Every structure is written in C-alpha cells, then in structure tokens.
Amino acid sequence: MAVHTGVLSSGFISLAPDAGSGLAVRAALIVVLLAAASGAWWVASRRAARFRPHNDHVLPGRAPAQADTMTSSDLSRELGARGTFVQFSSATCATCPQVRRVLTELTAAQPGVVHVELQSEDHMDLVRRFSVFRTPTVLLLHPDGAIHSRTSGPLTPPRALAALAQLSLATPRSINV
C-alpha cells in the first residue's frame, strides 16, 4: 500500500515508511487516542456530577444582577419558597428525561421546592444570560431567585438532595419567613 508523505499526514501516519512498523505505530496512536478520550470523559463526568457554587460561572463583562438572578417573570411562574430547580433541556438531549425524573420525584417529596423545565430552543435569551453550554444544565435558585449553584449532565437523587441541604444552610431566613 502506498504511504503518503504529505505535510499534513506526516505527523499522523507516516512516522515510519516500513509498512509493518507503520501499522504498529498507528495501532499505538489509536490506543493513546482512546485512552485520552476515556481520561477526558472521566475528569469531565466527575466534575459535572456535583453542584458547583454559582460564582465560578459568572463571565466577566456581564451585568452581575442579570446573570445572578432569575425572576418569576423569567420563568412565568412562582419560585419555590425553599428553592427552585431550573432545568435546561433540549430536543436532542439524551440525559434530560433522567434528570427530569429525579427532580420531579424530589420536588414531590419536598414541600416548597419547585422544578421548572425549560426547552433551551425556546429560551435562547436565558441560555445566553446564564451561560448554559450543554443540556441538561440545572440551576438551583434561592427563594428570592438568586442562583445558588448549578450542575450539568446526569443527576442522582443524593446529589440533588445534598445541593438542597446546602441551599437551606445558606438561606436560614427562608425557614422563618
């Protein structure tokens, strides 16, 4: 088989002109590629699995009041007295139904906690304002609409409950109101 030695291909395939060792090099490159992909997936999924405090995500140059608070008029419904989970979904989102199920069951069992699911395609203004880059992304709001924390990707009930407990600790005033 002819091995091309173009500039573009030189780094990728034609490290060795000999066909046998060329095959070994390619096989090694494939293994490295798949190992790197696995590592990146592992790091990304660990990072995405927990709720992160909101302030990490405010982009510079953005009006803080706008990007930090979601109002009931943004959502067209009342916020929860204890907290509100706002879930950004989309038509091509494979994980969204699982997250919806977790949050629906959680809000059914927790009075004062509201779950709102938004179709991102219909709310691109909110998607941009709150720096949503993938679905599902879940924002957890204080009773006054200030964003407490956020997460994206698959969600487990314990993670959601832990975030809710953190929120309650952060807003003791909401218990007495």
Partner 1 sequence: MSEPTTTPHTRPGGTPKPAPPGIDPRGPRFGAGVTAALLVITLLLGTGPAATALLIVVGLLFVLGVTRGVQGTLQGLAFKAWIRPRLAPPTELEDPRPPRFAQLVGLLVVGAGLLFAALGFPAGVPIAAAVALVAAFLNSAFGLCLGCELYLLGRRLAPHN
Query: Residues interacting with partner 1, by CB under 8 A?
Result: 1-4, 6, 8-9, 12-14, 22-23, 26-27, 29-30, 33-34, 37-38, 41, 45, 73-77, 87, 89-94, 97-98, 100, 103-104, 107, 115-128, 132-135
Closer Cβ to partner 1, 122 or 144, answer by number: 122
In angstroms, what is the minimal distance from the CB of 139 to partner 1?
A: 14
Question: Which positions ≥6 away from 149 have C-beta within 8 Å?
Answer: 51, 52, 53, 54, 139, 140, 163, 166, 167
Query: For residues 166 and 15, what is the distance between their CA atoms, to the nearest angstrom?
Result: 54
In angstroms, what is the minimal distance from the CB of 141 to partner 1?
A: 13
Query: For residues 102 and 105, what is the distance between their CA atoms, to the nearest angstrom?
Result: 5
**Residue 106 · residue 160 · CB < 8 Å:** yes
In Å, how far from its chain's centre is CA 137?
4
Closer Cβ to partner 1, 32 or 165, answer by number: 32
Closer Cβ to partner 1, 50 or 101, answer by number: 101
Closer Cβ to partner 1, 107 or 151, answer by number: 107
